């Protein structure tokens, strides 16, 4: 297993729309293992393949405190079950150190394939529902900063660009 590099905002590669996975094979399973290792190391609760510059529809999530509930979503499709929304302070491994309130549906239905290519459905609520929607956005080339005001987004962009310049100096 390996820890992968996480792309950071405003990297344009984060805007690439991911393609569906055609075959779940050892290459995909190895990528999933690397994504979990990367996510846990970061540390985070969700990671989309797009964030590690692999533009395929793969998401890994574990919202447990002790890393005991790893979930894999390949080619996830989300349907809103209850239009009641929920405000949550979201952060992102691609926008480290920043948190903003985002409003999302709190109850969704997800259809996806697991790490073995087996189809499944679930109806998460709360944090897991938010996390799945956040990661699915990555697969569509969208970031949580797209939900906030242009002023806040530009301020975060400026701070991130400044950090990147300091790191490369």
Could you list the residues known to form a binding site for Fe cation, using ranges: 92, 134, 138
How many Cβ atoms from other residues are within 10 Å of residue 30's Cβ? 12
List the structure tokens of 144.
Answer: 């949580």
- 87 catalytic per annotation: no
Cβ pair 89, 100 in contact under 8 A: yes
Q: Map tokens 């929607």 to a residue.
A: 133
C-alpha distances in Å from residue 22, one per residue of 4, 5, 11, 117:
22, 24, 26, 10
Among 5, 56, 135, 161, the active-site one is 135
Q: What are the binding residues?
A: 92, 134, 138
Q: Would you please indicate which residues are annotated as catalytic (active-site) residues? A: 135
């Amino acid at each position: 297993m390996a820890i992968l590099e996480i792309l950071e905002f405003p990297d344009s590669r984060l805007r690439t729309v991911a393609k569906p996975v055609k075959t779940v094979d050892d290459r995909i399973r190895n990528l999933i293992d690397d994504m979990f290792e990367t996510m846990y190391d970061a540390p985070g609760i969700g990671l989309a393949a797009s964030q590690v510059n692999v533009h395929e529809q793969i998401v890994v999530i574990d919202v447990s405190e002790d890393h005991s509930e790893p979930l894999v979503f390949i080619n996830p499709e989300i349907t809103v079950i209850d239009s009641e929304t929920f405000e949550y302070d979201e952060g992102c491994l691609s926008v480290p150190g920043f948190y903003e309130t985002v409003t999302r549906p709190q109850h969704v239905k997800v259809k996806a394939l697991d790490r073995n290519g087996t189809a499944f459905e679930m109806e998460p609520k709360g944090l897991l529902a938010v996390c799945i929607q956040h990661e699915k956005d990555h697969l569509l080339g969208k970031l949580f900063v797209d939900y906030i005001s242009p002023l806040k987004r530009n301020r975060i962009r400026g701070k991130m660009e400044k950090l990147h310049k300091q790191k490369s100096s």
